[in-house]
Amino acid sequence: MKILVDCGGYLNFGDISMLEGATLRLLHVLPQAEISVTYRAFDTVLWDMPEITKQPEYNMRPGIENIFASLFREKSSAATARIVLPFLGSLLSANSVPLSVNGKLMSAGEFCEHFDALHLSGGGYLTDTFYIQLLRKCCLILAFTEQSKPVVLTGQQIGPFRSRFSKSPLLRALRAASFVGLRDPADSLTMCQSANLPMDSYEVMGDDSFGLPPVDDMVVARVLSDYGLNPRGFIGLNVRRNRRYNPLELQQLHEIGELVDKIADRLKMPVLIVPIAYDPVEGDLVTGEEMTKYINSATTLMLDHKNLTPALIKGVLSQAFGALGVSYHFCMFALSGGVPTICIYDGRYYSQKARSLCVFWRDERLALSLDNVQINSAAEHILNIFEDNRLRSKLSLNSQQAAVRWRDVFDRRVNQFFI
């Protein structure tokens, strides 16, 4: 069987962890399958594996995405409708949608003819926050299903949506898919239920990063030593400021800095800023550098190791005493290592991620809104969680159980539809 694996990956260690976790498990379950992975210019162990074929990335035909982008800048329901409704009209046959693949023009049907099945690894890209990704994924799912080929999605967050018009092509695509595996047991699950998807066609399985183990403890120990850090002797921190989907205000950075100073002073621990998104313009290292201006007393270090990988970051965060961050995968990596972690958030996109983390890890205390935050009470809240040994033990047990469940659902559904 020839399987195309696609993702929403960009310059983001969380995205890469999901792609690696899903693809490595797919190779384990179906060792005889021919796996092609949509190629994007980021580093991953997959590109060095002889079992993997790099598939040139597909795009809508040149000019089409630019039209969509210019319309979407109006940021109104009417503009969203003008974007989505023409696309819905074209879906009388998704196979006819024009694509560009490695500079070659072809229809979606011609592109899909080369494969027997489609696997979409996890992420938070099924939202009109990333409307071009949403458009591409809907097109691909429907083109495969029109050819009566199986489509499996794993580890997905669905939404949020600014307009009901944006949901229409996605819900049509999800109804056509063979299986939709969710990482979000809150909003995404509710959306599948309210959309009346067949009950056996979706379930909560957890994040695809569960398929990627952390690096060896000895490697982590060497990295911590390079930074002068001791296991359980530092606080992990992640802050992301992105104009498009997380436009934190300077005042909020100031408040985060105050929080970090209070926590670090009480615990007498240094702070390690850990990047997940590494876009050179708006990545976490850029925000991290800016963040240091607002941390006045705590000792801060930046994890800018030249050989950073998702597996290494998972290992490093598993050795933190506690963690505080914006990024979903920063929080997920730390929590899956048994580390008490607070997801700090603002806005609709990140509030859904925060709710998801609280429900998945069964503790509503694991999220903190930055809207009108009270510094002293917030600091006490965070310290109480960091020092909650019962929570630490519960997280370790829940992580083991969650990893087992993720593998069980993944293997069962892949075997159900890809054999």
Helix axes 64-72, 77-90, angle to 10 degrees: 150
User: Which pLDDT value is given to residue 70?
Assistant: 52
Strands 235-238 and 322-325: what pairing? parallel
371 within 8 A of 346, measured Cβ to Cβ: yes
User: Which pLDDT value is given to residue 246?
Assistant: 77
Grouping H, G, I as helix, E, B as strand and the rest as coil, residue 121 is coil
The domain of 138 spans 2-211+402-417
User: Which pLDDT value is given to residue 194?
Assistant: 93
Other C-beta atoms closer than 10 Å to the C-beta of 258 total 18
Q: Is 79 contained in some domain?
A: yes
The fraction of the chain above a pLDDT of 70, given in percent, is 92
Task: Please report which confidence band the pLDDT of residue 281 belongs to, taking 50, 70 and 90 as the band edges.
Answer: confident
What whole-number distance in Å separates Cα of residue 268 and Cα of residue 368? 22
Q: Are residues 233 and 143 in the same domain?
A: no
What whole-number distance in Å separates Cα of residue 396 and Cα of residue 337? 7
Q: Are residues 314 and 411 in the same domain?
A: no
Is the pLDDT assigned to residue 113 strictly greater than 50?
yes
Q: Are residues 269 and 337 in the same domain?
A: yes
User: Which pLDDT value is given to residue 249?
Assistant: 87
Provide the CATH number for the domain around residue 23. Answer: 3.40.50
User: Which pLDDT value is given to residue 81?
Assistant: 44
pTM of the model: 0.93
Cis, peptide link before residue 231, omega less than 30° from 0: no
Q: Are residues 369 and 281 in the same domain?
A: yes
Q: Is 311 contained in some domain?
A: yes
Q: Are residues 342 and 410 in the same domain?
A: no
Q: Are residues 377 and 272 in the same domain?
A: yes
Q: Are residues 139 and 200 in the same domain?
A: yes
The DSSP code for 242 is B
Task: Please report which confidence band the pLDDT of residue 76 belongs to, taking 50, 70 and 90 as the band edges.
Answer: very low
pLDDT, tens digit (0-9, with 9 covering 90-100), for 158-208: 999 987 777 888 999 999 999 999 999 999 999 999 999 999 999 999 999
pLDDT, tens digit (0-9, with 9 covering 90-100), for 97-110: 889 998 899 999 99
pLDDT, tens digit (0-9, with 9 covering 90-100), for 21-35: 999 999 999 999 999
What whole-number distance in Å separates Cα of residue 397 and Cα of residue 385? 17
What whole-number distance in Å separates Cα of residue 23 and Cα of residue 122? 11
User: Which pLDDT value is given to residue 97?
Assistant: 84
Which tokens go with 142?
């429907």
Q: Are residues 18 and 136 in the same domain?
A: yes
Task: Please report which confidence band the pLDDT of residue 80 belongs to, taking 50, 70 and 90 as the band edges.
Answer: very low
Task: Please report which confidence band the pLDDT of residue 94 belongs to, taking 50, 70 and 90 as the band edges.
Answer: confident
Strands 58-60 and 151-158: what pairing? unpaired
Which tokens go with 243?
């104009």
Q: Is 327 contained in some domain?
A: yes
